[in-house]
Structure 1
Amino acid sequence: MQKASLDTVTMLMLPLRLYLIKLVMDRIQQWGQPTSDRESLFLACAGLALLMTAAAFIGSSSLLKHTRIYEIGTLLKERLIVEKTASLPLRAVETPSVQDVRRRALLYAPDAVCLEGMSLLIQSMQAILLTGLICWMGYWPLAVGLLLLGCGQSWLYAAIGSRLERTQTKQATSLRLADHLHQLLIAEVPAKEIRIFGLHSLLQQRWLDYSRDAGKQNEQAVARSERQKLLPELSFSLISGIAILLIILSSSTNISTAGDYVVLFQCVTLLAGAIPSVVKQVGSLSQMAVHCENFKAYIQHPDDRTTYNHNQQQRGNIPEQASGPIGLRTEQLTFRYNVSPTDRLAALDDISFEMERGTKIAIVGENGSGKSTLVKLLLGLYRPDAGEVHWLTKEGNVQAGHPTYRTAAVFQDFNRYQMRLRDNVAIGDVMKVTDDAAITEALAKAGLREWHTSLDDTIGTAFGRFDLSGGQWQKVAAARAYMRGDCFLVFDEPTSALDPQAEREAFADFLRAAEGQTAILVTHRLGAAKLADTILVLKDGRLVEQGTHAQLMTAHGEYERLYRLQAAWYV
């Protein structure tokens, strides 16, 4: 509002500036005459100087307000996108088409829309004011003609701008892939593999190819739009020049002094400049309207209404936590990552089992058998395409993911938060971020009993002074799960970065931490699976066996085959 007020004041100063210019020219014209008023000339010049100074001051203040609007608008847009992403189903967040929509949404600039809209309004008011002055001086056909020509140009520019922006938004997938390749080339983690395999030139070339292809398409679209604008712009410039020439050659009863001619000339010149500016702003706003549509498309994407919103825990919108372990029941569970009717391959197909409260269950199977997918369904992160997942509680059966019951998980692709060590662990229970004893106990449970740093030191080389090894990071991820206390605990391949001794200790720590609680262990180590109360064996997305280690070994099925294949390495 303050920027709009400043720009409005600048616009309203225009009539005063024109009047002072007329007064100066009239007094200069009368300079040699006995009736000349030199005092009013000096006052008019001083007034013009003051107006110029005020305009410069207002321009500087307006720029500061512009910067502030940009900061507020950018933060607002990014906050809305972050909040929307948190409310989407996990399956949607992982979908490439939704990621393309999010990239297009990020192009929306509410600050630019606000500023461009205010500028269009003020420029339009200035054009109307100048038109009125020109009409008052007796040249109304000229003023109205320029105004009508500008309206026609505005319509054309709006259509061209919208078409150009829609063409550019189609490049979202290519640009997202180019960004991914660029990130690979500059990120820390991929650097080792890229150098060992000599991939830098290959990845750089692919990045350049995608970027150049997108740039070429954009250049062609811009060139086409500029060609369409060329004839209307040349026509308007020619008509404006003719109008100025007519003013010089013609006369009017309302124009009798040099000051009148100068003011008329200024009005026509300013109008000839204001109309193209308004036209271009209309075209720019039409492009921004496409960005706004893309932003709305992402914000209006259906929220996750079939699973519970796990992000509510950080918003304080969940009921008091219930205590006690939970059981699990799945009935004919089916899930596909690609929901296309032509996709007949299910990640999970017709999975049914039940486990009592407080049970330790191990899920085993070859890579790609559906283990991690099943875990996400059991945690309520995914909603099944068919079948049901229920948590069995002492209060009754509830849908998987119900926020009343605490869950904790260590995934194989866990996050490495570039934060203080205490923050990394206390993520499991943010209310204990200052509880050093609880944090230290959780680290000890995870097998990290000694560390050569303070809890308040930032870990990770991006912002801190040192990094942790892969195994240490994995233990930190386990520690944040142990911070949750009594909960439904899931470990999805939690020991891939640990040495054999540390791995054995990690499994022992896991069983101790899960004592009396429902826990799921996803692992390729069938020796660890022996410790579970029940073992589920998956193959090609189907549950082919379940039972204890002894029962499955005597069944001579898939589990025995996997167990003997693994045991063969040690005999």
Structure 2
Amino acid sequence: MLGGANGKPATWDERLQALKYVPPLLRLVYQTHRGYTVAILALRAVRSFVPLAVLWIGKLIIDGVIAAVRVRADGGQGVVDWWALGGLLALEFGIAVAGEGLARLSALLESLLGDLFSNRISVRLMQHAAALDLAQYEDAETYDHLERARRQTVGRIGLIALLLSTAQDLITLASLAAVLLVQLPWLLLLLVIAVLPSFLGETHYAALGYSLLFSWTPERRLLDYLRYAGASDEMAKEVKLFNLSDFLVGRYARLSDEFYEANKRLAVRRNLFSTLFVTVGTLGYYAAYAVIVYLTVLGRFTIGSLTFLAGSFRQSRDLIQRVLLSLSQVWEQSLYLSDLFTFFDVRPLVTSRPGARPVPVPIRTGFEFQDVGFRYPGSERWAVRHLSFAFEPGERIALVGENGAGKTTLVKLLARLYDPDEGRILLDGVDLRDYDLDSLRQNIGVIFQDFVRYDFVMKENIGVSQVERLGDEERIREAARRSLADSVASRLERGYDQMLGRRFEGGVELSGGEWQKVALGRAYMRDAQVLILDEPTASLDARAEYDVFLRFAELTAGRMAVLISHRFSTVRMADRILVLQGGELIDQGTHEELVTKGGLYAELFGLQAAGYR
């Protein structure tokens, strides 16, 4: 990452490095809509010559008026060319009207292009984020990259307009500079000397501004979270019951005040120095103006030339100042742009190998874990280690263990959300990494305990696990029947078309058990050969749990199933139970075998059973 990681402004080398992201941005803009881009460039190019044309015509008008006044003063000796004066006025009027029309048309096209670009870059951001590994989402540094990139999808639209206006200003400046170079070459040197301090100052403070925002990324994420927590329907109950409002507001206020004070100090210093630099530039302009007036009095220039040169110098000064300031802003925004492209440079580690094979249908010999070990990124502790067991087609296994035993990690490895650090996982005798990732995920249906509650209609909430079948209502209803979610739909006013959640108008919030039935429907929506259910009955009432127990054979018919549960009434549905402790497999067998054998399983079962005595 460029500059600011340590809170210090970037070096000039880093500043130049930041500009390397401008060409990729321009390519993205051009690819967004070629027609709009070409039209905007053409309009900007034409508009860039309007200031010079207006100044030159103004010079001719003033010289013509002075000549006419002299004719009148000489008692009418000579002829006043009224047609020429009228023509010049009409020409200036036409240029002014045309320039305004071109500016409005250009602004319209730039607005449309900006909206399109924002949409396209947001889509690309979502697509790239979806391709990243789960481990990358769980890594704070990568998530900071994502957060900064997300903020840039809208904020960098202004950079496009800035680049276009800078290009237009450069063309205008070149045309004015050419005239000044012919008339008074030394004025150009004076111009540069007058505006250079302002450019250097703005560049310096732009670097400090980026450094401040960069170093505050984690705190700004926390501010966003506190703002959400303090005004969220999901957290409203606990906020009220625990009287958390003052705590959340106080913490937000303290942190936001700290950021405000840091930002204010920088803004005040930047404003003071900007005022000083602008004063230097103004002094340079009036020094040049005085020289031009002096030369006009000596007869070197006409009054029209005086206004033309003074106007050209003033506009050139303003343009140079604006161009240098724009270049400073381009560099500043390029630093932010680097956040976006740095995120796009992050590549997933869990990918399909070249020539990857599809998952066999049907699975013949099943899965085999061979001395598998895995540590989460940045952790020294093994989440699981020395896992060795087989999982056969048609078999239903349950994973049992205390919290942190590695149950969820095991199924994440099975679904290849992670790759093992040690050992390997085989499917039909072939390393899991040799299979096409999309094919593997298509053949595995997973419902985790912390499943997502989408603010969609009910049929979409079930169908999201098989988006290509979202329009297949018969399949959705069958999945709902198998997961008992059909009873939920029957009680809703609009049935499967009912909006769920309270985020949108007309939405209905379900109970925890009802949401779990909807989530189970997602698992049965897929033609998956492997079904993974993490606490599938945790939120169900006793009757619903009993119904699931009775229908479990039907629900898992022809599939391999993995159950994770702390409820032994659910665990007993499995053909085989794997007992995990400290990330290692310490025992396995049927419920009866494990109870008879004693050990951790029997102990946990006894503790739970005691609660019902």
TM-score normalised by structure 2 residue count: 0.85
Query: What pairs up with 1:367-386 in 2 under 5 angstroms?
Result: 367-386=403-422
Q: Equivalents in 1 of 2:377, 2:369: separation in Å? A: 21
Could you tell me which residue of structure 2 aligns to residue 403 of structure 1? 438
Q: Equivalents in 2 of 1:124, 1:418: separation in Å? A: 50
Q: 1:445 pairs with 458, 467, 482, which one?
A: 482
The CA deviation at 1:335 is 2.0
Query: What pairs up with 1:162-561 in 2 under 5 angstroms?
Result: 162-251=207-296, 255-304=300-349, 306-308=350-352, 322-324=361-363, 327-339=366-378, 343=380, 345-392=381-428, 396=430, 398-399=432-433, 402-405=437-440, 406-450=443-487, 451=490, 452=492, 453-467=494-508, 468-561=510-603
Whether the 8 Å CA contact 2:530–2:561 is kept in 1: the answer is yes
Could you tell me which residue of structure 2 aligns to residue 312 of structure 1? none
- Higher mean displacement: 172-181 or 92-101: 92-101
Query: What pairs up with 1:101-116 in 2 under 5 angstroms?
Result: 101-108=145-152, 109-116=155-162
Could you tell me which residue of structure 1 aligns to residue 34 of structure 2? none
Structure 1 residues 247 and 31, CA gap change in structure 2 (3 angstroms): same
Could you tell me which residue of structure 1 aligns to residue 25 of structure 2? none
Structure 1 residues 6 and 22, CA gap change in structure 2 (3 angstroms): same
Q: Equivalents in 1 of 2:436, 2:182: separation in Å? A: 73
Whether the 8 Å CA contact 1:27–1:38 is kept in 2: the answer is no
The CA deviation at 1:563 is 0.1
Could you tell me which residue of structure 2 aligns to residue 82 of structure 1? 126
2:181 equivalent to 1:135? yes
The CA deviation at 1:257 is 2.5
Whether the 8 Å CA contact 1:371–1:538 is kept in 2: the answer is yes
Could you tell me which residue of structure 2 aligns to residue 30 of structure 1? 67
Structure 1 residues 220 and 257, CA gap change in structure 2 (3 angstroms): same
Structure 1 residues 168 and 402, CA gap change in structure 2 (3 angstroms): closer
Structure 1 residues 158 and 322, CA gap change in structure 2 (3 angstroms): farther
* Code of the aligned partner of 2:415: L
Q: How many residues align?
A: 557
Q: Equivalents in 2 of 1:254, 1:103: separation in Å? A: 64
Q: Which runs of 5+ in 1 are unaligned?
A: 310-316
Whether the 8 Å CA contact 1:379–1:407 is kept in 2: the answer is yes
* Code of the aligned partner of 2:108: L
Q: Equivalents in 2 of 1:58, 1:253: separation in Å? A: 41
DSSP-derived class of the 1:91 partner: helix
- Higher mean displacement: 148-157 or 172-181: 148-157
The CA deviation at 1:21 is 0.7
DSSP-derived class of the 1:162 partner: helix
DSSP-derived class of the 1:403 partner: helix
* Code of the aligned partner of 2:187: L
Q: Equivalents in 1 of 2:161, 2:406: separation in Å? A: 51
2:171 equivalent to 1:125? yes
1:3-44 Cα shifts (integer Å, max 9, x gaps): 222222111122321222112212221333142212222222
* Code of the aligned partner of 1:350: H
1:315-361 Cα shifts (integer Å, max 9, x gaps): xx995873346622212222222435xx3x22223222222222100
Q: Which runs of 5+ in 2 are unaligned?
A: 1-36
1:104-142 Cα shifts (integer Å, max 9, x gaps): 2234344323221222122122222212212222x2101
* Code of the aligned partner of 2:373: T
How many percent of aligned residue pairs carry the same amino acid?
Answer: 26
DSSP-derived class of the 1:429 partner: helix
The CA deviation at 1:191 is 1.0
DSSP-derived class of the 1:60 partner: helix
Could you tell me which residue of structure 2 aligns to residue 19 of structure 1? 56
DSSP-derived class of the 1:31 partner: helix
Whether the 8 Å CA contact 2:367–2:391 is kept in 1: the answer is yes
Whether the 8 Å CA contact 1:307–1:381 is kept in 2: the answer is no
* Code of the aligned partner of 2:161: L
Q: Equivalents in 2 of 1:75, 1:529: separation in Å? A: 47
The CA deviation at 1:276 is 1.2
Whether the 8 Å CA contact 1:457–1:464 is kept in 2: the answer is no
- Higher mean displacement: 458-467 or 378-387: 458-467
Structure 1 residues 74 and 390, CA gap change in structure 2 (3 angstroms): same
Q: Equivalents in 2 of 1:3, 1:199: separation in Å? A: 53
The CA deviation at 1:478 is 0.8
Whether the 8 Å CA contact 1:330–1:389 is kept in 2: the answer is yes
DSSP-derived class of the 2:278 partner: helix
- Higher mean displacement: 6-15 or 558-567: 6-15
The CA deviation at 1:155 is 5.0
Structure 1 residues 223 and 392, CA gap change in structure 2 (3 angstroms): farther
* Code of the aligned partner of 2:369: T
The CA deviation at 1:103 is 1.6
DSSP-derived class of the 1:354 partner: strand
Q: Equivalents in 2 of 1:219, 1:507: separation in Å? A: 63
1:183-233 Cα shifts (integer Å, max 9, x gaps): 112221111111111111211121222222223223333344445545443
Q: Equivalents in 1 of 2:374, 2:408: separation in Å? A: 12
* Code of the aligned partner of 1:146: L
The CA deviation at 1:289 is 1.4
TM-score normalised by structure 1 residue count: 0.91
* Code of the aligned partner of 1:512: E
Q: Which structure carries more helix by proportion?
A: 2
* Code of the aligned partner of 2:609: A
DSSP-derived class of the 1:390 partner: strand
Q: Equivalents in 2 of 1:151, 1:5: separation in Å? A: 30
DSSP-derived class of the 2:160 partner: helix
Whether the 8 Å CA contact 2:424–2:431 is kept in 1: the answer is no
Q: Equivalents in 2 of 1:510, 1:123: separation in Å? A: 72
- Higher mean displacement: 504-513 or 252-261: 252-261
Q: Equivalents in 1 of 2:326, 2:177: separation in Å? A: 19
Whether the 8 Å CA contact 1:445–1:479 is kept in 2: the answer is yes
Whether the 8 Å CA contact 1:324–1:486 is kept in 2: the answer is no
| RMSD (Å) for aligned C-alpha atoms | 2.4
